[in-house]
Structure 1
Amino acid sequence: MSELYVTVETTIPDDRIDLFARLYEEAFGPLRTKAIARQVLHPEEFHAEMVDPRVHKHVARLGSGEPIGVTTLTRHLETVPWISPDYFAARYPEHAARAAIYYAGFTLVAPSAQQGAAFHAMIESVVQIMVAQRATVGWDICSYNNTRYSLADSIRAVLDEQANVEVAVEDSQIYYAARFTGDGATEGG
């Protein structure tokens, strides 16, 4: 693999969004049937994130400039519809006062580059910001990715290697399903 570098971009130009959307679909598309909670942004949601300057895109690129990975990061928590900004503000009031609470929306690496350094390089790029601002950052990982790819362990390893950091599970949500297999009749009922 050629040399790898990371750029931090506030917006992706409209003429490049389709390229990023293809990367996103390759990486996240399979989760449509692997996770009960929706893990894949709709095309219009993806486009909105790519052009929203409040959401910074840490883009892993090959030496040729070709993008092979993206991590989204924002301190404008209202841009992440599935989290509660109030939760973070209540738990980290000093960070909230300094606007130093971030959320990493997604991290993806093209399937062809998943064994390379792109994931590590993008997390390092985020860590540099977190360390400089003594910030707090949240993220979520679906159970499928955590079990199959040990993403939490991978992220924690990169964080521990890069900074003095405390990582904790903040919350969890467990989804259930009931499959009814009979006619519902019970004795004595």
Structure 2
Amino acid sequence: MEFGHDTGFGGRTPMSELHVTIETKIPDEHIDMFYRLYEREFGALRTKAIARQVLHAEEFREEMVDPRVHKHVARTGTGEPIGVTTLTRHLATVPWISPEYFAARYPEHAARDAIYYAGFTVVASTARQGAAFHAMIESVVRVLVAERATVGWDICSYNNARFSFADSIRAVLDEQANVEIAVEDSQTYYAARFTGDGATKGG
């Protein structure tokens, strides 16, 4: 799960003024607004992480209208959408993960169709100081607790190092549920920069 910046826990938008809806399809008139927000918050990751972290516009739209990807949408008291978190139990919709890994690792959950993956969370700047973020994560946790589910997510090293997102998520989950969290996997990317005239050593 990747996050728009500044998902701190103080709040300018009171929790009582927020509600979260779980939607299978985002209305067309809201997709562009969410994509502009997504691009503003995630665009910088194109040059900060080797693995691609940013959905193309068409990929983003596909997720927003794919009923297999549930969108937990934070709204103000007037109904204005100010944030979205994606969650799916259809792991084939997440092209950068291996569904077979999760099925082998969690066979009991796989048999119950109770393995989920969290995609991204993004919150508008007017509410990004915590309340909307909290409300959406609470909505996701209610689903996962009810299903006794396993959920996976990923955070690139840049976001972890600069914004401590892993610690933030752990704190929120520990606050809301009895949950065991473990690092499942890691991947190290290398680069070799060749210098000189290209002659082989010892030639």
CA distance in 2, matches of 1:132, 1:102: 13
Which secondary structure state, in structure 1, belongs to the residue aligned with residue 185 of structure 2?
A: coil
How far the C-alpha of 1:62 sits from its partner, in A, is 2.3
Aligned to 2:23: 9
How far the C-alpha of 1:30 sits from its partner, in A, is 1.3
Note if contact 1:141-1:152 (Cα within 8 Å) is conserved in structure 2. Answer: yes
Runs of 5+ consecutive residues of structure 1 not aligned to the other structure: none
1:21-36 aligned within 5 A = 21-36=35-50
User: Relative CO higher for 1 or 2, CA cutoff 8 Å, sep ≥ 6?
Assistant: 2
Note if contact 1:102-1:135 (Cα within 8 Å) is conserved in structure 2. Answer: yes
How far the C-alpha of 1:16 sits from its partner, in A, is 1.7
Pairwise CA RMSD: 1.5
Aligned to 1:37: 51
Going from structure 1 to structure 2, the CA distance change for 1:127 and 1:178 (only over 3 Å counts) comes to same
1:87-106 aligned within 5 A = 87-106=101-120
Q: Which of these residues, 121, 128, 131, is aligned with residue 114 of structure 1?
A: 128
Amino acid at match of 2:164: S
Which secondary structure state, in structure 1, belongs to the residue aligned with residue 53 of structure 2?
A: coil
Q: Which of these residues, 41, 44, 62, is aligned with residue 76 of structure 2?
A: 62
How far the C-alpha of 1:89 sits from its partner, in A, is 0.6
How far the C-alpha of 1:83 sits from its partner, in A, is 0.7
CA distance in 2, matches of 1:30, 1:110: 17
Going from structure 1 to structure 2, the CA distance change for 1:186 and 1:112 (only over 3 Å counts) comes to farther
Task: Name segments (4+ residues, structure 1) moved above 3 Å.
Answer: 184-188
1:140 aligns with 2:154: yes
Aligned residue pair count: 189
CA distance in 1, matches of 2:142, 2:69: 17
How far the C-alpha of 1:82 sits from its partner, in A, is 0.7
Q: Which moved more, 1:8-17 or 1:179-188?
A: 179-188
TM-score normalised over the length of structure 1: 0.94
Note if contact 1:26-1:110 (Cα within 8 Å) is conserved in structure 2. Answer: no
How far the C-alpha of 1:28 sits from its partner, in A, is 1.0
CA distance in 1, matches of 2:78, 2:43: 26
Runs of 5+ consecutive residues of structure 2 not aligned to the other structure: 1-11
Q: Which of these residues, 62, 68, 74, is aligned with residue 88 of structure 2?
A: 74
